[in-house]
Amino acid sequence: MDNRLDEKKLYYHRTLSVWEGFCQLHKDLYDLTCDEYLTLLESDIDKLETMLPLKEEIISKIGELEKDRGELIEQLNSTALFNFKINRAGDLLTAFSELDNNSAIPAMKNLNSLLLDIIQKIQEQNKKNQQFLNKAMLSLRDIKQGFSGKKTYTTYGADGQTRSLNR
């Protein structure tokens, strides 16, 4: 029985390592997303172009870590350490909840809460970035139409679809 507990602890620490990686990469992504907003405000297109590959690189690393988590889940299922099959991240958290609760600091629970918080902040910042870009595109369209002498009015039909009228 003691060997099984040691094996669970080993997998627990491997899972913690994956979650720490997720937290770090998502924090980096959040920081870059905030920097992206500031760069949009500064209208520094050159700097923005250098940020996009960095963002793609971080997202790629998150994908690799996601594969690691999938492999870890497969390994855990093959060991039959738990009396249920682990299919997703929530199941993984449930599997290690007893170990996590018995430790001095519930690291798994804390890391997961932190990860969820960072992801929520990334989503909120991405919305702000998108709103800024939408407003900028509308302003550019208005300026362009001012030069051509035509004005396009955009309305919404009863079906919710956008309709444009040229005048």
Q: Give the pLDDT score at 28.
A: 97
Q: What is the residue whose two structure tokens read 């809460």?
A: 113
The predicted pLDDT at position 94 comes to 92
| Distance from C-alpha of 89 to C-alpha of 157, rounded to nearest angstrom | 43
Q: Is residue 137 part of a domain?
A: no
pLDDT at 158: 66
Which pLDDT tens digit goes with each residue over 74-109? 999 999 899 999 999 899 999 999 999 988 889 999
Per the domain annotation, does 151 fall within a domain?
no
Is 149 part of any domain? no
Structural tokens at position 46: 């050159």
Cα R_g (the chain), whole angstroms:
24
22 domain-assigned: yes
- Domains in the chain: how many in total? 1
User: How far is it, in rounded angstroms, from Cα 26 to Cα 143?
Assistant: 37
Residue 37 domain flag: yes
Report how far residue 91's alpha carbon sits from residue 48's, in angstroms, rounded to the nearest whole number.
39
- 160: confidence class by pLDDT, cuts 50, 70, 90: low
pLDDT at 119: 97
- What is the H or E stretch that residue 164 is in? strand 162-166
Residue recorded with tokens 């208005």: 142
| Predicted confidence band of residue 166 (pLDDT cuts 50, 70, 90) | low
Q: Is residue 76 part of a domain?
A: yes
CB 7 within 8 A of CB 98: no
- Distance CA(58)–CA(48), nearest Å, equals 15
d(C-alpha 94, C-alpha 100), whole Å: 10
What was the pLDDT predicted at 136? 80
Query: Which one is predicted more confidently, 139 or 92?
Result: 92
Average pLDDT over the chain, rounded to an integer: 88
Distances from the Cα of 141 to the Cα of 4, 37, 116, 134, angstroms? 65, 21, 37, 11
Q: Which residue blocks in 43-148 are alpha helix, DSSP H?
A: 45-79, 89-95, 97-102, 107-148
Cα–Cα dist 26/117, whole Å: 10
Domain interval for residue 34? 2-131
pTM of this structure: 0.79
Q: Is 67 or 42 the better-scoring residue by pLDDT? A: 67
